[in-house]
Chain A
């Protein structure tokens, strides 16, 4: 994948570049917002990592121009401030995710992977997670290329968890996402669907972790 890092702190920028290159990405770096806007208008990037605290044109402005021009690639915002916290937190400026400095590199690479996966999924009808493949148009699932039988609600629950791999998802959020299927759902019902999904997926090494009193998390496939 092709990534663009917009960060004016040279040591941090070079560190990020090397880590993401080690993940197998092609990485360009610029310290200036104006250059980032120009580069994104001329070439196609799969993801932008954008620092908010840039000199001259700040990250918010860069983000606004990227969204106005270059299209729908995911943007991961980096911030050192929490005064702008709530603006960034709300992600209402069109950023797809944010991280507060300083952050752990494994967390950064995990977020980058998740964002890329999500944007690829938006691009096509198929979502992949290790040996699991979902065809969202045909609503069919395959495990190790074998068709996998899933009830409608099991499918819906799996889709919610897959959209947020490595992130905890509350039972309420799952109920809300599945509620389109009609009648009332109790948290207990969600437990039943998750337990059925587990028995179907765990033999293939796909794990759904329970977060006590909160919800579930689809673990990254290793």
Chain B
């Protein structure tokens, strides 16, 4: 998934809001728990304050503070934190303890402050002394409070984090699952042959992909219309050429039937031959246009045997004119295909065999059904095609060097296109006794 992955895009879009929700969720569950915990620690300090307060004695106007060292040690002992205290008379005079421990401002009973460079929590306790009350401040560094806060925060973040990761995983795989109809669509398009421009079936597609399928079908319709238009133009052009060529040929043949000076006869002969070649070329271009991928072909069940039988008469006359023995070995060979194109492929193979064989040659046309499927084959005992040239003769306009005659070099290229458009296989081999040429087309079963 190079470039713009829909998944990555979705994740990028989802990450910031998920992170924000996570933070908010953590805070929302953090504050309600940190409050009671802080309160409990404060209460422990108040208890220390009350215990310290009990050690203040009032002697007439004098306040005395007597705390046995052992008790003080107990009070001041904590696993994690340092504990401070400060006792003040009702008038605010220093009595005992750690001087300078900051008192909460105003009426507040607890606050956070800095003492001896540490962050401290200080609570203020009113303790009875004589008929009045003294103030006891108890401070404590924040080590265990901060630890508690961290633990609480982590405890609230873990489930949030878990939910977030689960969400991202669900998005990652959910997107893949959700995009499966698109994957199926692309598989369907990929599995098509290049010439298949039929609309895609939208019936099975989910609602969300319908607009895409619709747009694709619109495009397919346009492309196939354009392709049909081009095919029709080529076909019309080839057809339009035929009538003037027929007139040209008629007059050339008329002229040749009359007594002519030798020089003129040779020239008319040239015109006549050129006319025949041009007509053949027009036919070949027409066939090529119709065999190309994207051309709309008319498929039906065609028996190659009947196809040959339908054309045999014309070929036999051409062969007789060249003194070639054209024979047939025909067995039923049903194939699914375009009759016009198959006839054209056959005509090209037979034309080549007749064209490039010498007088007295033997050419055989075969059809039948073998183990590998229906086949047709044209074999001659002419000069053959050297094996090095065999792949090249299938290229358009290629002619084997030194070949006599004036062919266009399109014949076998057309055969190849037609064979390809029928999913058939083309093979060029030697004929019987390693002489001549045998061109076969095999149509796979089904």
A interface residues with partner B (beta carbon < 8 Å) = 9-12, 15-16, 18-19, 22, 53, 78, 80-83, 85-86, 89, 100-107, 167-168, 170, 209, 211-214, 217
Within 8 A of A (CB), among B228-268: 235, 239-240, 242-251, 253-254, 257
Tell which of B13-21, B80-88, B180-188, B320-328 binds the partner. B320-328
Q: A94 to B409, alpha carbons, bound, how many Å? A: 39
Q: A18 to B325, alpha carbons, bound, how many Å? A: 34
Asked if B50 is an interface residue, CB under 8 A from chain A, the answer is no
Interface of A is mostly: mixed
Q: Which residues does chain B contribute within 8 Å of A101, judged by CB atoms?
A: 242-243, 245-246
Tell me whether A107 and B247 are in contact (CB under 8 A): no
A16 interface neighbour in B250, B275, B313, B316, Cβ under 8 Å = B250
Within 8 A of A (CB), among B321-347: 325-330, 339-340
Q: Which residues does chain A contribute within 8 Å of B329, judged by CB atoms?
A: 213
Interface of B is mostly: helix
Interface residue range, chain B? 35 or more
Q: Which residues does chain A contribute within 8 Å of B257, judged by CB atoms?
A: 19, 22, 105
Q: Which residues does chain B contribute within 8 Å of A9, judged by CB atoms?
A: 243-244, 246-247
Tell me whether B312 and A102 are in contact (CB under 8 A): no
Tell me whether B316 and A102 are in contact (CB under 8 A): no
Asked if B309 is an interface residue, CB under 8 A from chain A, the answer is yes
**With A12-B250, A168-B313, A217-B316 in contact, do A211 and B326 touch (Cβ < 8 Å)?**
yes
B312 interface neighbour in A11, A85, A214, Cβ under 8 Å = A214
26 A-B residue pairs with CB within 8 Å = A9-B244, A11-B248, A12-B244, A12-B246, A12-B250, A15-B250, A18-B254, A22-B257, A80-B240, A80-B242, A82-B286, A82-B340, A101-B242, A101-B243, A102-B242, A102-B248, A102-B250, A103-B246, A105-B253, A106-B253, A170-B309, A211-B312, A213-B328, A213-B364, A214-B312, A217-B316
Tell me whether B325 and A212 are in contact (CB under 8 A): yes
Q: A127 to B420, alpha carbons, bound, how many Å? A: 50
Asked if B390 is an interface residue, CB under 8 A from chain A, the answer is no
A85 interface neighbour in B247, B248, B326, B340, Cβ under 8 Å = B340
A104 interface neighbour in B247, B253, B325, Cβ under 8 Å = B253
Tell me whether A214 and B317 are in contact (CB under 8 A): no
Supplied contacts A9-B243, A9-B244, 7 more A-B pairs, CB within 8 Å: A22-B254, A22-B257, A102-B276, A211-B312, A211-B326, A212-B328, A212-B364
Asked if B279 is an interface residue, CB under 8 A from chain A, the answer is yes
Q: Which residues does chain B contribute within 8 Å of A18, judged by CB atoms?
A: 254
B interface residues with partner A (beta carbon < 8 Å) = 235, 239-240, 242-251, 253-254, 257, 275-276, 279, 286, 309-310, 312-313, 316-317, 320, 325-330, 339-340, 364
Q: Which residues does chain B contribute within 8 Å of A53, judged by CB atoms?
A: 243
Q: Which residues does chain A contribute within 8 Å of B320, judged by CB atoms?
A: 209
Residue of B nearest to A10 (CB): B247
Tell me whether A12 and B247 are in contact (CB under 8 A): yes
Residue of B nearest to A99 (CB): B246
**With A81-B239, A107-B317 in contact, do A11 and B253 touch (Cβ < 8 Å)?**
no
Q: A90 to B240, alpha carbons, bound, how many Å? A: 23
**With A9-B243, A102-B275, A103-B246 in contact, do A15 and B251 touch (Cβ < 8 Å)?**
yes
Interface centre among B240, B246, B254, B312 (most CB of A within 10 A): B246
Nearest Cβ in chain A — how far from B272, in angstroms? Answer: 10
Interface centre among A12, A53, A78 (most CB of B within 10 A): A12
Residue of A nearest to B287 (CB): A82
